[in-house]
Structure 1
Amino acid sequence: MWHNLRQLNLLANLLGACGVLILLVSLASWLNRQPVFALRALRIEGATSHFNLQGARAIMSQLRGNFFTLDLDTTRAAFESMPWVRHASVRRIWPNQLTVTLDEYTPLGTWGNDWLVSTQGERFSANLAEAGDDLPVFNGPPGSERQVVARYHDFKRWLAPLGTRVQEVTLSPRYAWSVELTNGMRIELGRELSENLHEDTLAQRCNRLVAAWQYLTQQWGTQIEYVDLRYPNGFAVRVAGLQFAPPGE
């Protein structure tokens, strides 16, 4: 081998590459030990209306690594586990700063007794008291959040001529719809049928009620407490306090 010039060149190149690698490893180890690269500053950007500083400090105290070795994916997941945080992005700022950009959920209403649902139909956990007052209430089978939110906006539009607001939307386990308005009236709409078959759709049922609303209020005013729209050619009404006299009286 010592008389083979080609093999000697390969050996020299290999030894040189090993030397460079050892030098780089040593340099990285030295940099990792330098206190100047220890993370000393956290900068929070984006949506911060519900930001919890104490929670962020707890996360930072549990992170391991410095400017070079910090796992950004683990850090992002830690911030996304905070209440109200929908998405977080994390980046390093030379030489010892971490910047976190937050995207928060925007609450639309409550889901059941313990959850909130966002304007994008995402269920999330947060302090209900921080979400505001007079939020509508949504209920439905697991995974139906987006569907219920979409129908909430439809019901708002379809029932707007009644002059009251939608307070509660419920999708039953049998996928039947019901709505409660802020005036206390409850509306049963039943199951949704296919619009492609020109069957009795939810919109058509609401339109029947809207068309007859003026007549109903002239007869019973604000005493209407329940409307059943599950009939194909009409609907039933229950009026608070209405009593029928026996025959002959």
Structure 2
Amino acid sequence: MSRTWPPQPQPLDVRVMNGLATLLFVAAALAVVGAAASWVVRQPLFALRDVVLRGEVERQNAAAVHAQVVNRLVGSFFTVDLVQARDVFESLPWVRRAVVRRAFPDGMEVELQEHQAAALWGEPDKSTLVNTHGEVFEASLGDVEGENLLHLDGPNGSAAEVLRMSRVLKPVLEGGLKQPLQSLALSVHGGWHARMGSGARIDIGRGTDEQLVARVQRFVDTFAQAGAKYGRTRSDFIETADLRYADGYALKLVGVTTGDGKKTGRK
């Protein structure tokens, strides 16, 4: 009866050589695959050519956007950095948010959300606006010419609060004075100042929403009575009004002076 002996293990040096050969083969195969992939992604077929805009594009058009971003997008369909591409689109005027996706084989789909202008913001000579979310952004003021936007101003970081307060005070002022609110400003000390369409300046002062509304409501309800003895009952005769008094307000009316030569009125 024959006897079977178990196979003898290969010597250590042979096993090491076989392992190295396998590793070299795998590395070579990966290098070939990598080179082939690199060659494929660099082919003109996959160069970015087409930009499709979706979403809110009222102030944008594909041709203008393509012209502004084509030289700023780096890479092909496969290699383009979508975060960098998003930043490029969000740097365009009027763009608030951009969501960027690849569109095979050579395109890009971009979902845009545009700023909705709520008011002008800051110094009159600056191209800054505030959107409906209370965010300040830059755009050409010519784009909103004729829209009769309210002008807001305040310290840095206060745009959302000033916009909110304009929504609180605007209906009270316009409803009582029968003329448009032209501007509303918040001072660094927290005081509110309004200017109406006639040019009248109204110093409202500081306080809670309820205190400010009550102060303005008292004024619009009684200014005609205060001006009646001067024949000035319409709001367009108001030059200035200072509502920062606990027991009333100071009123200056156009063309009215008292006996001592001072323009005045106190309610």
Alignment TM-score > 0.5, same fold: yes
Q: After the TM superposition, which of the residue ranges 218-227 and 76-85 deviates more from structure 2?
A: 218-227
Change (3 A) 1:192 1:8: farther
| Partner Cα separation in structure 1 for residue 17 and residue 227 of structure 2 | 102
| Partner Cα separation in structure 2 for residue 27 and residue 230 of structure 1 | 77
Name the aligned partner's letter for residue 117 of structure 1: V
With normalisation by structure 2, the TM-score equals: 0.80
1:60 is aligned to 2:87: no
| Partner Cα separation in structure 2 for residue 128 and residue 58 of structure 1 | 20
Q: After the TM superposition, which of the residue ranges 210-219 and 98-107 deviates more from structure 2?
A: 210-219
Structure 2 equivalent of residue 221 of structure 1: 233
Deviations 1:146-191 (A, max 9, x none): 1110111011133243122211001112221101122332210112
Structure 2 equivalent of residue 212 of structure 1: 222
| Partner Cα separation in structure 2 for residue 21 and residue 218 of structure 1 | 93
Structure 2 equivalent of residue 148 of structure 1: 162
1:131 is aligned to 2:144: yes
Change (3 A) 1:206 1:13: farther
Offset at 1:41? 1.2
Structure number with bigger Rg: 2
Q: Report the 3-state secondary structure (helix = DSSP H, G, I; strand = E; otherwise coil) of the residue aligned with 1:65.
A: coil
| Partner Cα separation in structure 2 for residue 212 and residue 243 of structure 1 | 20
Deviations 1:106-157 (A, max 9, x none): 1111112211111111111111011132211111111111111011101113
Q: After the TM superposition, which of the residue ranges 102-111 and 181-190 deviates more from structure 2?
A: 181-190
Alignment: residue pair count: 241
List gaps (5 residues or longer) in structure 2. Answer: 1-8, 261-267
1:183 is aligned to 2:195: no
Structure 2 equivalent of residue 241 of structure 1: 255
Deviations 1:192-217 (A, max 9, x none): 35x7xxxx821221122133245346
| Partner Cα separation in structure 2 for residue 21 and residue 232 of structure 1 | 83
List gaps (5 residues or longer) in structure 1. Answer: none
Offset at 1:241? 0.7
Structure 1 equivalent of residue 132 of structure 2: 119
Q: Report the 3-state secondary structure (helix = DSSP H, G, I; strand = E; otherwise coil) of the residue aligned with 1:61.
A: coil
| Partner Cα separation in structure 1 for residue 54 and residue 196 of structure 2 | 39
